[in-house]
Amino acid sequence: PLSSMFPSVIPDCDPTISPRLYHLCMAPLSLAVLLGLSLLVKRRRLHRSCWSGVPGLLSPVNFLEEEGNRGLVAAVFGILLSSLCVLVLDKDPLPFITHSSHSTREYWKILALLYYPAFYYPLLACATVRHRLSYLLGCLLSWCHCVVHIWQKVDCPQSPKIYRYYSTLSYIPIIICLLLLSLWYPALLLRSFTEREDTLDKEVAGRSYYKRYLKALLAKRLQKGSSTKMEESLFSRLQGYLRSYIYTPEEGFRIPLKLVLSVTTALIAVYQQVALLLLVAVIPTMQIVRAGMTKDIVVLLVQFGLVPSESAAAPSHMEKELSTAKHYLWALEVCYICSLVLCCLLTCAMLLRTLVMHRNNLRALYQGAVLDVFYTAHILRPSRPAIACWMSFAAFQTAFTCLGLLIQQVIFFVCSVGFTFLFVIPLQSGTSSPLFRVVQNMWPFWLTLVVAVLLQHLAAHYQFLEQHPLRKELTNRRALYIVTYLLFPLNVLLGVLAGVWRMIISGLYNAVHFCQLDSSLLNRAVETFDPG
């Protein structure tokens, strides 16, 4: 029955451990862990023999550290972003307050934006302290979070919000990140018993990383100096072009932690806030419309010319038109899914290219080639805009990626629908397409434009350009002026077509590269006006 396809018939499910109970229990526990770690750090680093002094606030993570638990940090940021994505569509943004009114819901959302970072703060702080007790507390916290989330989704796999399985699918990144933390903290705890920590390497963060990178860099330079220079082949050019879009790890080089976080959160946002939401909000609705299509609706579609019909028949004799209408809706579903998959693949490719471009820019800056990165010469030193941009880099990357994917989805869906209904379906059904009829009726016009383009290029090559051994010289200037004047009206029409093509190409290019923050979408002279 069709009623089973609607989300409204799915009853509300109350899990054994409600979100309110979960946060009421875990928030005080997280606060207690944070206070305990603050006392532990104070006693170990500030005053070993007495309790005097005020414990300092723990740092969640050292963003400037080259070595550390990058996977753990990325997992916690993934949990935080996924929780905020779920928060956007939730009726009760703050778990402690249920059945909030519309007038106060926005205030609770603002408060929730501050609550969730504090709620998951101890999951990062336990790794920053680097103590066995902190690793043990991290194990307990990650296990509690993971067990509760899995239990809630096992109790209530379906929900009436948007789509029956949307709630479960949206929590997959949170559960995966919590599973990673549940394995990472026990591994750190076991390693603390089996390995002795080097205090010198602790004081100088990333010392071993710098040693390895310097050795790898010197080894590559020695190999380059001893090798003979060979001509670059077509295969090597193609390989270099692919490497500019595909990030491959290189020995000794490690990308900054901020960039790792930005790519991780961007990929999670692509899955959860854009791709999943666009998929479950549109495809089930289109399936419901296709399953509920009746002959009475088909009669209206035939009268509006949306469905072809050989003769205006009664609704009882429209089986062929009904199947055609359902086929059209199925084609729309295929176009929507294909465009969404293409957008996700292009976005992931652009994020990988971001890693490549950041690595190239860092190398250029370390070599002193500032003009290869910036339009004007810059002095590489800390500044107020640089620090502000550094703080918001990962968040901007995530937001720009989501917006870029939305723009791409609109563009590619419109293009795929146009290609399907103007080319594929007419060729499949053997009917004439409106585009084919336009081309057929206006073929003299298109032929004239093609001849004008060919004439200008051939005349420029054979009549207006004289070849000399070392230079080229303009010749037949009188004929050049005459042809330029006579072809002016045709060139205006060609300019209109070229302008449309330029608009399409620039729109596609900017939409695809919208998520890249390593280069501007504007000209280098005005790139300061680009917020990205």
- pLDDT for 4: 47
Residue 476: closest CA among 489, 487, 484: 484
User: pLDDT per residue over 79-129, tens digit each?
Assistant: 888 888 777 777 777 777 777 777 777 788 888 888 888 888 888 888 877
Average pLDDT (501-514) is: 86
- pLDDT for 488: 87
The answer on pLDDT for 184 being more than 80 is yes
Give the confidence band of 456 by pLDDT, cuts at 50, 70, 90: confident
Give the confidence band of 220 by pLDDT, cuts at 50, 70, 90: low
Phi, psi angle pair for 124, to nearest 5°: -85, -40
Phi, psi angle pair for 13, to nearest 5°: -115, 130
Q: Quote the CA–CA distance of 234 and 168 in Å, as a whole number.
A: 48
- pLDDT for 37: 78
Q: Quote the CA–CA distance of 83 and 170 in Å, as a whole number.
A: 9
More reliable by pLDDT, 55 or 447:
447
Q: Quote the CA–CA distance of 181 and 146 in Å, as a whole number.
A: 9
Say if residues 167 and 159 touch (Cβ distance below 8 Å). yes
3-class SS of residue 474 = strand
Q: What mean pLDDT value characterizes the chain?
A: 77
pLDDT winner (highest mean) among 10-19, 65-74, 343-352: 343-352
- pLDDT for 58: 67
- pLDDT for 199: 44
User: pLDDT per residue over 230-255, tens digit each?
Assistant: 445 667 777 776 766 777 777 667 77
Average pLDDT (171-176) is: 87
Average pLDDT (19-24) is: 82
The answer on pLDDT for 298 being more than 60 is yes
Q: Tell me the β-bridge partners of 467.
A: 472
DSSP string for 323-357 = HHHHHHHHHHHHHHHHHHHHHHHHHHHHHHHHHHH
The answer on pLDDT for 512 being more than 80 is yes
The answer on pLDDT for 67 being more than 50 is yes
CA dihedral 300→303→305→310, nearest 10 degrees, is: 110
- pLDDT for 227: 42
- pLDDT for 231: 46
DSSP 8-state code for residue 465? E
Average pLDDT (57-76) is: 74
DSSP 8-state code for residue 45? I
Which range is least confidently modeled, 196-200, 285-289, 440-444?
196-200
Which range is least confidently modeled, 303-317, 395-409, 434-448?
303-317
More reliable by pLDDT, 101 or 169:
169
% the chain with pLDDT above 90: 0
- pLDDT for 214: 61
User: pLDDT per residue over 483-498, tens digit each?
Assistant: 888 888 888 888 888 8
pTM: 0.78
